[in-house]
Structure formats: C-alpha cells, structure tokens
C-alpha cells in the first residue's frame, strides 16, 4: 500500500470509528505542544513540552492501531519507531554521554601523561580526567568526566591548565546538584543562561588558579581561533 492509499485507509477507518474525536484531539495536542516547544525560551520548559508532544503522538498511534481495520501501514510503524527511539535517546544521552565520548574520541586517562592533573581535579570534584588526540585546543566536561585535547596540553602551561580544569570541575559540581530534567534541558536546548554559567565557572577557576592564569589561558585559546 502506498502512502496515499494508507492515508485514505486511515481516514476511512477513523470515519467509521467512535474514537475519531479522541485521535484527532491527540494529533492537535501533539502539534500544538511541538510548536510551543519551539517558542518557549526556558530549556526545562522546552524539554518537558517536547517530550509531552512525543507522548501525545505515541498515544495517538496506539489509539490508531487499536481502531484500524485496514491492512499493514508502513508509515505508522516507522513513525512509531521514531517516537520510541527518539524518546529513549533523549533520556539516555545524559547518563551515557561521557562514555560515548570516551569511545568516540578514543580518550585515555590523563593520569598516564600528567598525574598532577588527576590529583588536582580530585581535590575539587569526583571526576576522571581524559585526554584525546586533537590539535585543536579544546576542553569540556560531560557526566563525571573532563576531556582535554593534546592541542590544549601543548598550548598551555600547568597554571593555565589548572584554570581550565577548575572551570570544567565547576560545571561538574554544578551539574551534580542540578535536577535531572534541568541538566538534560541545558544539554539539549540552547539557553541564554549559558553565558551566566560560564561566568560562574570562570569565577571559580580564578579563585582556584588565579586571575592571571585564567586570563592567560583564555587569551591563548582565543588567539588560535582568530
């Protein structure tokens, strides 16, 4: 059955069913929630609204399968698979993202090349430090892990690296006390509050490693991207 045939079959089955208003209501709710998720500014509200739209779609598909008297409908099965898989991925990404990055970047424990870095981070937060092979100077935190590139290790001196590690350690400390949905929302959707988080992380790094080290590290990294 082609798509046009499936649509005609779907419309006929709904027309003959007492559940047609319920399915139509779920479709309208799903579309409205999806549109709202694109307009909301706060990440947590956007995430909750988006997931609610997914759930409304899933309920609509289940209701459709219940009332269908037609033959096999490929498009509904494909969309059902999309809804289930995307929802699972959204909630699994935060818990396993750092493990995914370790594998993807072929990252190695930083203690094997500079033991002081792991000892330094241990004094700030419970997290593992990894390095990965990239000439681009990068550092980021995910889950309970901090990742730094070889390019960054070669560019910065120890004091500057301490400032960077302290910055990323603050993010992990902040995230560990943050509700799950808020963490996921900040990770999934862009937010105007990101600059505020970066400012606070920089302030913490300055307290730990000193203003000079933080300024010098940022100045060196910024020059690479100019």
pLDDT classification of 191: cutoffs 50, 70, 90? very low
Distance between alpha carbon 222 and the CA centroid of its chain, in Å?
A: 25
Least confident of 7-11, 29-33, 81-85, 205-209: 7-11
> Considering the domain boundaries, does residue 98 fall inside one?
no
Residues 75 and 120 in one domain: no
* Cα–Cα distance measured from residue 33 to residue 24, given in angstroms and rounded to the nearest whole number: 14
> CA 198 → CA 173, 195, 204, 212, distances in Å?
13, 5, 10, 17
> CA 140 → CA 15, 88, 89, 169, 174, distances in Å?
54, 24, 21, 9, 14
Residues 24 and 115 in one domain: no
* pLDDT: which is higher, 137 or 37: 137
Residue 193, both tokens: 């509050």
* pLDDT one-digit tens code per residue, 62-109: 777 776 655 555 556 666 677 677 667 666 665 677 888 898 899 999
Residues 49 and 85 in one domain: yes
Q: Give percent above pLDDT 70 in the chain.
A: 67
* Nearest alpha carbon to residue 98 among 41, 49, 147, 151: 147
Residue 192 pLDDT: 42
The H or E element that residue 149 is part of is strand 145-149
* Nearest alpha carbon to residue 164 among 219, 113, 99: 219
Residue 208 pLDDT: 94
> Considering the domain boundaries, does residue 56 fall inside one?
yes
Residue 224 pLDDT: 63
Residue 165 pLDDT: 95
Q: Within a 10 A sphere around the Cβ of 140, how many other Cβ atoms? A: 13
Q: Are 219 and 155 in contact (CB under 8 A)?
A: no
Residue 119 has pLDDT above 80, yes or no: yes
Residues 65 and 127 in one domain: no
The length of the chain in residues reads: 226
Q: Specify the residue for token string 């900040």.
A: 186
Residue 71 pLDDT: 53
Distance between alpha carbon 60 and the CA centroid of its chain, in Å?
A: 27
> Considering the domain boundaries, does residue 99 fall inside one?
no
Residue 52, both tokens: 């609610």
CATH number at residue 159: 3.30.2010.10
Specify which residues 130 forms β-bridges with: 109, 147
> Considering the domain boundaries, does residue 101 fall inside one?
no
* Nearest alpha carbon to residue 98 among 136, 146, 131: 146
> Considering the domain boundaries, does residue 202 fall inside one?
yes
Query: Domain span at residue 63?
Result: 3-93
Q: 3-state DSSP call for residue 40?
A: coil
Residue 35 pLDDT: 84
> Considering the domain boundaries, does residue 201 fall inside one?
yes
Average pLDDT, the chain: 78
Residues 56 and 147 in one domain: no
Q: Where are the alpha helices (DSSP H) in 68-157?
A: 74-105, 115-122, 150-155
Phi, psi torsion values for 124, nearest 5 degrees: -110, -40
């Amino acid at each position: 059955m082609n798509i046009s045939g499936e649509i005609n079959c779907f419309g006929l089955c709904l027309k003959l069913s007492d559940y047609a208003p319920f399915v139509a209501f779920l479709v309208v709710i799903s579309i409205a929630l999806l549109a709202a998720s694109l307009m909301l500014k706060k990440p947590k509200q956007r995430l909750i609204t988006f997931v609610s739209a997914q759930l409304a779609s899933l309920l609509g598909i289940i209701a459709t399968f219940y009332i269908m008297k037609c033959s096999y409908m490929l498009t509904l099965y494909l969309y059902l698979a999309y809804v289930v898989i995307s929802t699972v991925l959204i909630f699994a990404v935060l818990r396993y993202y750092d493990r995914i990055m370790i594998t993807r970047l072929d990252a190695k424990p930083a203690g094997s090349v500079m033991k002081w870095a792991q000892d330094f981070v241990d004094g700030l937060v419970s997290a593992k430090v990894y390095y990965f092979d990239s000439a681009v100077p990068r550092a980021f935190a995910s889950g309970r892990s901090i990742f730094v590139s070889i390019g960054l290790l070669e560019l910065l001196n120890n004091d500057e690296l301490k400032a960077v590690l302290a910055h990323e350690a603050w993010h992990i400390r902040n995230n560990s006390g943050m509700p799950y949905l808020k963490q996921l929302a900040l990770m999934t959707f862009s937010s105007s509050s990101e600059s505020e988080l970066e400012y606070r992380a920089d302030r913490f790094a300055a307290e730990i490693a000193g203003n000079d080290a933080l300024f010098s590290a940022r100045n060196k990294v910024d020059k690479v991207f100019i």
